Amino acid sequence: MNNIQQELETVCQELDEYYYLRREVIVNHEELTKKQTARAYELHDLLAAKVGAFKNLISDATGIPQTGQEDLWMHAMSYIPTPLVVSSLDQIIQATSLALGKIKRDIELGKRGAQTGELLSLSSPSGSESSEVLTATEGWKAIEGGFGITRRRFGRRISFVSDPFKRVIIFRDVAQAFVLASSGFSKPAVILAGGVIEELLRLYLAHKGVKPTSDTFDGYVQTCGQEGLLKAGISRLSDSVRHFRNLVHLSKEETARHTISKSTAIGAVSSIFTIANDF
């Protein structure tokens, strides 16, 4: 399935080609070949079919009119050969390119879903009894947009976690760690991410029937390394997360330089998916 960026890039290319053909007829008064005419009709039908899917998204991202007499899409798709068709197409091309750049940036920041481009809310309604569930659901939507991994895909990577309740807790904590990190709550995000990784390593060792050197984060990391259960780079990553988590102790936060940054917190959350991918 193509993501929204690929879809919009295709729309931009089709708009450029359609604009050129319509301009040749309307502005330059050139006669198209049969092949060009057939292509113009084909592009019209393609773009008309995509209007419903993309015009709201492009309008929301750029603010171009989409209703009433100012509906640029309606004018651009008109068969009547008037200069308004060309000028409307020109504005739509600019708006679509602008929307593509904005949406791409929002996806990188975890603000939009990679597949649909829809804005993601990281907060849940206040006073809602199901706020924790809503936050977890929204968190996973943001994770998909930011890291390109879905809840289902992550679930397959940790199939060794067989306890249904334990799986629910892990899914919840991963989502909430991401929400905390994205919202600037770096310290609790690192604590939560470290806890998830520690538990995943413990359960993974149990699944493999391997007894750890000690029932601690250190013990789990060392045992995975000694037994070759994780790649060397992943083992070092697990060890780094352990050090991240050690930084959360109040005694370690002696100066501002020792305060956990947002990038460190997001890195700790990202480590969950990197390590899980090696299970």
pLDDT, block means (10 residues), the chain with 279 residues: 78 92 92 94 90 77 56 85 89 84 77 73 43 56 80 90 86 87 82 88 91 84 80 55 51 48 79 83
Residue 43 pLDDT: 93
123 domain-assigned: no
Query: Do 191 and 244 share a domain, yes or no?
Result: yes
Alpha-carbon gap, residue 221 to 238, rounded angstroms? 6
Please, what sign has the CA dihedral across residues 160, 164, 168, 169?
A: negative
122 domain-assigned: no
Specify the number of domains making up the chain: 2
> Whole-structure pTM over 0.75, yes or no?
no
Residue closest to 155 by CA, chosen among 139, 173, 167: 167
Query: Do 25 and 99 share a domain, yes or no?
Result: yes
Residue 115 pLDDT: 75
| Last-in-domain residue among 46, 74, 108 | 108
12 domain-assigned: yes
Query: Do 154 and 263 share a domain, yes or no?
Result: yes
Query: Do 153 and 268 share a domain, yes or no?
Result: yes
Residue 66 pLDDT: 52
Query: Do 173 and 62 share a domain, yes or no?
Result: no
113 domain-assigned: no
| Last-in-domain residue among 108, 143, 173 | 108
What CATH code is carried by the domain that includes residue 257?
Answer: 1.20.120
Alpha-carbon gap, residue 112 to 141, rounded angstroms? 8
Query: Do 27 and 86 share a domain, yes or no?
Result: yes
The label of the residue with tokens 């390119």 reads: 97
Collapsing DSSP states into helix, strand and coil, what is residue 126?
A: coil
172 domain-assigned: yes
Query: Do 145 and 15 share a domain, yes or no?
Result: no
Alpha-carbon gap, residue 217 to 258, rounded angstroms? 22
CA 95 to chain centre: 22
Q: Which domain holds residue 44?
A: 4-108
Give the pair of three-digit tokens for residue 32. Answer: 């198209």
Rounded (5°) CA angle 173-176-182: 140
Residue 123 pLDDT: 47
Query: Do 93 and 135 share a domain, yes or no?
Result: no
Query: Do 247 and 170 share a domain, yes or no?
Result: yes
Residue 106 pLDDT: 76
Residue closest to 124 by CA, chosen among 110, 135, 112, 136: 135
**The amino acid at 139:** G
214 domain-assigned: yes
Alpha-carbon gap, residue 274 to 270, rounded angstroms? 6
Collapsing DSSP states into helix, strand and coil, what is residue 46?
A: helix
Residue 122 pLDDT: 47
116 domain-assigned: no
Query: Do 149 and 104 share a domain, yes or no?
Result: no
Query: Do 206 and 252 share a domain, yes or no?
Result: yes
